[in-house]
Structure 1
């Protein structure tokens, strides 16, 4: 393993999020996989890979990534909130609600907590995954991924 300063890893993560925001999923995947290889003890690039899968509409794969991230860091609020989102979009509302409420309780005013709060409020107001056109949903999630991190 090559040791890199954290600031360089952050720059690479930003590059991956730029690709994700542009819906250049293959490039984003390569960037995040490279970072995961350079920082195997960090759940952050694995969460980002889950975000790529989510934006592609592959909720099963995104759930797999988020669960893998939680094996690295069981307390990762970002892995939990995005897992909740992916579970909701895959039709597992009750499981999703549990994760989202857990994140909101742990991080009420933080970035992960605010995302959980917004999604919970939307669900409470009748939001369903089917209400979003496929392309708009991918773009909205890509934007959320780049803003939260």
Structure 2
């Protein structure tokens, strides 16, 4: 499968994978920005997509950026109908400003098949063995 990608600036780079079997492709910054301590900022990638119908591209964090720098790429979805520039929201969780340089790998992209669904309003839901037990209901270990 291929996805058409347009480079929108001279700073933009084609997404690439580090290893042939990686499911995600790294996406890079097309601008130099400083993210203030604790802030979330949109970072330009300088690329746009044409995603086939029935698929989406997911923006996911890069583990190295999270572990090493404590900067987290926020999850995002690129729908098949979107043709604008892809931006990545980066959250600087540290107490210091964080500089992003042009060409820095800031997130990864994964494609996923989607099923279109519609909400169906009902009075009652089917019962299950879990019921309404939510966060933390299975214990720590």
Fold match by TM threshold 0.5:
no
Point out the structure with the larger helix share. 1
TM-score (norm 1): 0.26
> Which of these two proteins has the greater Rg computed from alpha carbons?
2
TM-score (norm 2): 0.27
